[in-house]
């Protein structure tokens, strides 16, 4: 994450320690700076120290616990393919090999999921640990392991942990990674043994990352301090079903009883009404709270959420993904092709780890022959293919989180249906490297909702001012303030780990669907293809049903049982599609089903379909032209950088008149532009600068400080002012959000906002004051656009120079890869060692090649296609793949970032699967012996 700037003192109440902690991220204690500057330190940091942790990849190693020899074959990129004769040996070897390459990353992840970051990084992480302990990911993971997972899954997790611990045995920190060598100068931290629960816990972090619409829920409430209901509605327009197709068009949700066309919005199995399926409540007031009163309270919650789980390279804002499958009738091979590229924050090393897991002979004793992408720290393969099927994933975006306001009663209770119920409490001890331990008390409701407001002083303070409106009865007196609690499906024990192993060995559509039934958290769009020439889609997941009029779009009253979840949608009623007549399926975070064809409200906040419709149009264009789609066509589609918003705006921008020759010179860049955003495009650079300035002038300067970029200050009318405007003294308000989290971010929701306003040329939004020599606009769209083009010209002059011949999108739109702990904001010497970049990238926000940037904060790349793959079901050895970084987490390894430049250039690597292909591509072979 880019470093933050400091807000003006007094602009933001709450813990001063929190701001310092947020900025510190995961920085080693300041003592490291002094050590790095010393001659003794430079002498210590020798080549032998750096290389001590490199993995052995040739010869043989004896591992206690194996029952037979295991071969680990690595190709020229260090990607391992493992061959064994039993499931347990296979997963034990997987644990050993991943620990060889990535144990430090694994260790940080498990400390995050268990709320123990302070043990590694000191007091700067105490606030994060308090929040994570309150969520209790590791406690839920332990419950899953103890009571939910199958015996086979437990056996595999145990084998994996045994492999990790075999690697750790007898090693000091410096033997594992140079990061431990650095930590050794500031504390005496030493890695402990791996446990099966450590692996399960990481699924909770990914579920948090893909949790749905919580951020939109917060933002809508924050907006109420400056905007009215109609204005907020304009900033959250309806999904454009008439223009951007939903995922499922010909499918069913229960082939025995009900088709989509029969869905009538009536009660579900437990009797709860499900609404009209439109994604919005017919009476929003029935579940609404007074947004202005919630504004500061939810701002405090945002602060607590902001770091998580960015600390290990992923975050929940702006995340999307592309995945699509084309049936054999439309491919040159006659068999399906499947593509996937999940979008996540850029991290170093990549969140993904490529590998193959192969049984030498498939049998009941050894059941796996699978290859693809997994997470370091987890056994199995998350996305990839086996001998007969392939699958990909995108975030479904369904709403699985709700915030509740709780009426507190003293320290120990809360109000529920007119009675006071006691909180369920537990005491947690946070150990702090270099400091004293801290004890906290975690409170949660009877049904398991943690009280998040306990974790931030700001929430407690401003909760005293919170009010709420309900339909049937007045809200209870707020007393000392309402609390904020979280209901989230991932805080209930589930079976997703079972699903990983079952999908890995599925043989056909029926067994794949059966496996998907266990994939309860996070809910994902699953696309499918097999060697028998079938394609499919399944929405899995634990998805709540709510009472009539309650749609999960804003916080709800926790003291009234009518607002609680009523149950979950049965798996047989979740949307799926199999061999649709059109011959392809596209998922890119758009609406899953048409609003009139499904009886349940899945979310009010879909992605708006810019990417999905572009992919659909590319596929249809190829098919209608009589062509057949190849593996390379799929790759080229992944790299498509067409700008939808440019197609809408450029025809208008080209017609505007300017006397200033410099602005006119920049405007000419747009005249023959084809709307593609290549890294070397000057037109793309100028247009995106214009787009950014349109958003800032029309919307950004009108949003409350809680949504604006930190340290960007405006003089505004005070909130809740009365009397003549001329008599009101304006106040200076500075933004409070990190630059890559602020609004307006410029994504496809904002595409839709502007599209809907284009014909409303006199809208209030098209108003901005004069600024120095820059003209203003008074309810005049074109005047605001003119101002944006002038501002963009001089912004790029400052950033890129006056000569537009030197401009390019890639000079603005750069990717820096930062090690997500010591390299994020740490000492300069360590940053130099651990970080890489920049790379100049094409693509952009809400394009298929989704190299995302936040228009409120700047042009730098903040999330990326974290990997890309194209699976060829006719010949699996002709499949292609690439990772964002490389196989290794060791900074001086040849495989630390050896795939990044190829990734940036849009290249894919050969993906060997068969024994012969793997042997032909093998560079190093390591034999693990019992």
pLDDT tens sequence across 326-374: 999 999 999 999 999 999 889 999 999 999 999 999 999 999 999 999 9
The predicted structure's pLDDT at residue 401: 87
DSSP-assigned beta bridge partners for residue 536: 528, 578
- Which has more confidence, 4 or 104? 104
Determine the Cα–Cα distance for residues 674 and 683; give it in Å rounded to an integer. Answer: 9
- Cα 719 to the center of its chain, rounded Å: 33
Q: What is the mean pLDDT of residues 158-179?
A: 94
The model's pLDDT over 658-696, given as tens digits with 9 standing for 90+, comes to 999 999 999 999 999 999 999 999 999 999 999 999 999
Calculate the alpha carbon distances from 358 to 21, 59, 158, 499, 546 in Å.
Answer: 44, 20, 19, 19, 44
Contact 739, 709 (CB under 8 A): yes
Residue 31 has pLDDT above 90, yes or no: no
Q: What share of the chain in percent tops pLDDT 70?
A: 83
Helix (H) / strand (E) containing 784: helix 781-800
Residues 6+ apart with CB under 8 A from 641: 676, 677, 678, 842, 843, 844, 847, 848, 849
- The tokens for 697 are 């002038």
DSSP-assigned beta bridge partners for residue 353: 374
Q: Sorting pLDDT into bands at 50, 70 and 90, what band is 299?
A: low
Only one residue has tokens 């393919």, namely 81
Residues 6+ apart with CB under 8 A from 305: 131, 214, 215, 316
- What pTM does this model have? 0.90
The predicted structure's pLDDT at residue 547: 83
Determine the Cα–Cα distance for residues 509 and 499; give it in Å rounded to an integer. Answer: 14
- Phi-psi label, residue 536: left if phi above 0, alpha if psi -120 to 50, beta otherwise: beta
The predicted structure's pLDDT at residue 87: 98
| DSSP 8-state class, residue 476 | P
The model's pLDDT over 701-725, given as tens digits with 9 standing for 90+, comes to 999 998 999 988 988 877 655 444 5
Q: Is residue 24 classed as helix, strand or coil in its secondary structure? A: helix
The predicted structure's pLDDT at residue 456: 66
For the ranges 44-48, 266-270, 316-320, 659-663, the maximum mean pLDDT occurs at 659-663
The predicted structure's pLDDT at residue 265: 34
- Cα 316 to the center of its chain, rounded Å: 4
Determine the Cα–Cα distance for residues 378 and 351; give it in Å rounded to an integer. Answer: 12
Q: Is residue 578 classed as helix, strand or coil in its secondary structure? A: strand
The predicted structure's pLDDT at residue 4: 31
Q: What is the mean pLDDT of residues 436-440?
A: 95
Residues 6+ apart with CB under 8 A from 869: 339, 340, 341, 372, 373, 383, 384, 392, 879, 880, 881, 882, 908, 911
Q: What is the mean pLDDT of residues 114-132?
A: 91
Least confident segment among 37-46, 590-599, 759-768, 841-850 = 37-46
Closest CA to 164 of 109, 85, 86: 109
Q: What is the mean pLDDT of the chain?
A: 85
Q: Sorting pLDDT into bands at 50, 70 and 90, what band is 903?
A: very high
Q: What is the CA radius of gyration of the chain?
A: 27
Residue 97 has pLDDT above 60, yes or no: yes
């Amino acid at each position: 994450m880019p470093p933050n700037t400091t807000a003006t003192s007094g602009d933001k109440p709450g813990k001063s320690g929190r701001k310092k902690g947020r900025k510190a991220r995961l920085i080693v204690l300041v003592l490291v700076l002094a050590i790095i500057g010393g001659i003794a330190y430079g002498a210590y940091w020798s080549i032998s120290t750096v290389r001590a942790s490199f993995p052995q990849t040739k010869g043989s190693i004896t591992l206690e616990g194996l029952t037979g020899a295991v071969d680990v074959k690595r190709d020229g990129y260090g990607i391992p393919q493992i061959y064994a004769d039993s499931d347990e040996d296979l997963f034990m070897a997987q644990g050993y090999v991943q620990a060889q390459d990535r144990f430090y990353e694994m260790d940080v992840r498990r400390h995050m999921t268990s709320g123990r970051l302070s043990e590694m990084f000191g007091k700067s992480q105490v606030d994060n640990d308090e929040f994570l302990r309150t969520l209790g990911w590791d406690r839920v993971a332990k419950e899953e392991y103890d009571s939910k997972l199958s015996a086979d899954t437990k056996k595999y997790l145990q084998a994996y942990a045994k492999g990790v611990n075999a690697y750790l045995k007898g090693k000091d920190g410096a033997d594992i990674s140079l990061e431990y060598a650095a930590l050794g100068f500031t504390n005496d931290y030493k890695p402990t043994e791996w446990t099966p629960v450590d692996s399960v816990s990481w699924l909770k972090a990914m579920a948090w990352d893909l949790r749905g619409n919580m951020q939109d829920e917060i933002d809508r409430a924050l907006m109420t301090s400056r905007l009215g209901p109609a204005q907020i509605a304009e900033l959250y327009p309806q999904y454009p079903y008439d223009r951007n197709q939903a995922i499922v068009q010909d499918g069913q949700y229960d082939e025995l009883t009900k088709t989509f066309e029969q869905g009538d919005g009536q009660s579900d199995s437990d009797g709860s009404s499900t609404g009209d399926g439109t994604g919005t409540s017919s009476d929003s007031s029935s579940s609404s709270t007074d947004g202005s009163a919630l504004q500061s309270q939810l701002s405090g919650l945002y602060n607590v959420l902001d770091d998580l789980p960015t600390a290990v390279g992923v975050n929940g804002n702006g995340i999307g993904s592309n995945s699509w499958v084309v049936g054999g009738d439309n491919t040159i091979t006659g068999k399906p092709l499947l593509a996937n590229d999940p979008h996540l924050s850029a991290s170093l090393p990549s969140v993904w780890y490529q590998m193959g897991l192969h049984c030498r002979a498939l049998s009941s004793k050894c059941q796996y022959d699978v290859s693809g992408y997994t997470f370091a720290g987890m056994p199995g393969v998350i996305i990839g293919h086996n001998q007969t099927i392939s699958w990909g994933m995108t975030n479904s975006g369904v709403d699985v989180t709700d915030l509740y306001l709780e009426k507190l009663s003293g320290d120990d209770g809360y109000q529920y249906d007119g009675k006071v119920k006691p909180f369920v409490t537990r005491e947690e001890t946070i150990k702090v490297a270099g400091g004293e331990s801290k004890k906290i008390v975690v409170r949660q409701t009877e049904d398991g909702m943690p009280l998040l407001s306990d974790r931030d002083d700001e929430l407690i303070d401003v909760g005293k001012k919170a009010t709420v409106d309900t339909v049937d009865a007045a809200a209870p007196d707020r007393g000392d303030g309402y609390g904020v609690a979280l209901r989230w499906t991932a805080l209930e024990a589930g079976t997703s780990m079972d699903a990983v192993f079952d999908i890995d060995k599925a043989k056909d559509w029926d067994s794949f669907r059966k496996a998907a039934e266990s994939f309860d958290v996070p809910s994902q769009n699953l696309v499918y293809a097999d060697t028998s020439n079938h394609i499919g889609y399944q929405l899995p997941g634990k998805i709540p049903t709510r009472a009539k009029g309650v749609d999960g779009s804003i916080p709800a009253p926790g003291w009234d049982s009518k607002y609680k979840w009523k149950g979950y949608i049965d798996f047989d009623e979740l949307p799926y599609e199999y061999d649709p007549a059109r011959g392809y399926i596209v998922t890119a975070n758009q609406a899953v089903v048409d609003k009139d064809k499904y009886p349940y409200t899945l979310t009010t906040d879909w992605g708006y379909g810019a990417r999905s419709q572009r992919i659909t149009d590319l596929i249809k264009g190829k098919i209608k032209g009589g062509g057949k789609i190849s593996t390379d066509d799929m790759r080229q589609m992944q790299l498509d950088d067409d700008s939808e918003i440019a197609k809408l705006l450029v025809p208008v921008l080209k017609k505007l008149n300017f006397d200033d020759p410099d602005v006119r010179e920049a405007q000419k860049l747009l005249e023959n532009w084809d709307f593609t955003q290549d890294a070397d495009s000057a037109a793309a650079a100028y247009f995106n600068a214009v787009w950014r300035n349109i958003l800032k002038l029309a919307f950004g300067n009108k949003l409350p400080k809680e949504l604006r970029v930190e340290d960007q200050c405006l003089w505004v009318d005070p909130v809740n002012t009365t009397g003549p405007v001329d008599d009101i003294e304006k106040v200076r308000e500075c933004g409070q959000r990190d630059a890559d989290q602020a609004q307006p971010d410029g994504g496809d929701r904002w595409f839709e906002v502007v599209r809907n306003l284009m014909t409303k040329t006199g809208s209030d939004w098209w108003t901005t004051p004069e600024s120095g020599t820059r003209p203003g606009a008074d309810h005049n769209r074109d005047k605001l656009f003119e101002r944006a083009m002038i501002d963009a010209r001089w912004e790029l002059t400052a950033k890129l120079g006056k000569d537009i011949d030197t401009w390019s999108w890639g000079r603005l739109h750069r990717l820096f890869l930062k090690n997500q702990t010591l390299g994020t904001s740490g000492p300069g010497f360590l940053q130099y060692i651990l970080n890489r970049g920049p790379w100049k990238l094409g693509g952009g926000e809400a394009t298929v090649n989704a190299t995302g940037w936040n228009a409120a904060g700047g042009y730098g790349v903040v999330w990326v296609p974290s990997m890309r793959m194209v699976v060829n079901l006719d010949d699996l050895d002709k499949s292609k793949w690439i990772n964002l970084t490389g196989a290794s987490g060791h900074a001086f390894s040849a495989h630390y970032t050896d795939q990044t430049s190829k990734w940036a250039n849009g290249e894919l690597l050969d993906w060997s699967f068969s024994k012969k292909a793997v042997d032909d591509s093998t560079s190093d072979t390591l034999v693990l012996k019992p």
